């Protein structure tokens, strides 16, 4: 019974577990990313030290210093000094 429930729960969690890119702001001031996801442009403000999840299925990002990058939705972006680095 327990095994079965566990297996079921595992299956649900695994099947539903989505991937998304995450961005962490290591600076002491809030930074803004411009994200074009599925053709919709939006600005994401990230407070100091915050981490946000965005872009589940590919997007274009403009970093705070004006650099552009394309993401496929599984990256981790670290922003320090306004420069976004993709890990």
Partner 1 sequence: MPTHTMRRLAILLIGICALFWAAAASAQNVGNFGAGLIGEQQSELDRLTVKIDELARKVADSAEDDARLVALRAELETVSQAVLKSGLAFRPRLAEINARLEQLGPAPGEGQPAEPDIVAGERQNLVSEKAEINVLLGVAENLSVRIKRLVDDIAAMRRDLFARLLTKRYTIDYALVGEVLTAFADEMGDFYYTVSSWLRFVFQFKLKSVTAAAFFALAAAAILVIGGRRVLGGLFVSDPAAAQPSYLSRLSVAFWSTLLPSAALAVFLAATYFFFDYFSVLRGDIGAMLRSLFYVVAVVYFVHRLGRAVLAPPQLEWRLIPVGPSAGHLLVVLVSATAFFTGVDHFLTKVFEVLGSPLSLTVGESLVSTFLTGALIILIGLVKPFVDAKGTARPWHPAFRFLLFGLGGATVVAGLLGYIGLARFMSQQIVITGAILATMYIGFQSASAIAAEGAFGGTALGRRYGRWFKVDETTLDQLGLVVSVATNFIVILIGLPLILLQWGFQPGDITAWLYRLATEITIGSFSFSLTGILSGVFVFVLLYFLTRWFQGWLDGSVMARGRVDAGVRNSIRTGVGYAGVVLAGLLGISAAGIDLSNLALVAGALSLGIGFGLQNVVSNFVSGLILLAERPFKVGDWIVAGAVSGTVKKISVRATEIETFQRQTVILPNSELINAAVGNWTHRNRLGRVEIPVGVAYGTDPRRVHAILLDIARSHPSVLKNPEPFVHFSGFGDSSLNFEVRIFLSDILGSLAVQNDIRFAIVEAFERERIVIPFPQREVLLRRETEPPAGDMSAPPVPVAPQTEPTARRRRKRPDPV
Minimum CB separation of residue 68 from partner 1 in Å reads: 4
Q: Which of 48, 58, 74, 76 binds partner 1 (CB under 8 A)?
A: 58
What's the CA gap between 32 and 18, in Å, rounded?
A: 24
- Is there binding between residue 4 and partner 1 (CB under 8 A)? yes
Instruction: Choose which of 44, 56, 78, 82 interacts with partner 1 (CB under 8 A).
Output: 56
Q: How many CB atoms lie within 10 A of CB 21?
A: 23
Q: How far apart are CA 65 and CA 10, in angstroms?
A: 42
Q: Does 5 bind partner 1 (CB under 8 A)?
A: yes
């Amino acid at each position: 019974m327990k095994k079965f429930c566990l297996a079921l729960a595992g299956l649900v969690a695994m099947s539903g577990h989505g991937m998304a890119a995450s961005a962490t702001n290591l600076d002491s001031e809030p930074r803004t990313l411009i994200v074009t996801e599925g053709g919709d442009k939006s600005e994401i403000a990230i407070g100091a030290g915050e981490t946000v999840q965005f872009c589940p299925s590919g997007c274009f990002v403009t970093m705070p210093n004006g650099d552009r990058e394309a993401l496929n939705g599984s990256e981790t972006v670290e922003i320090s000094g306004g420069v976004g680095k993709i890990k």
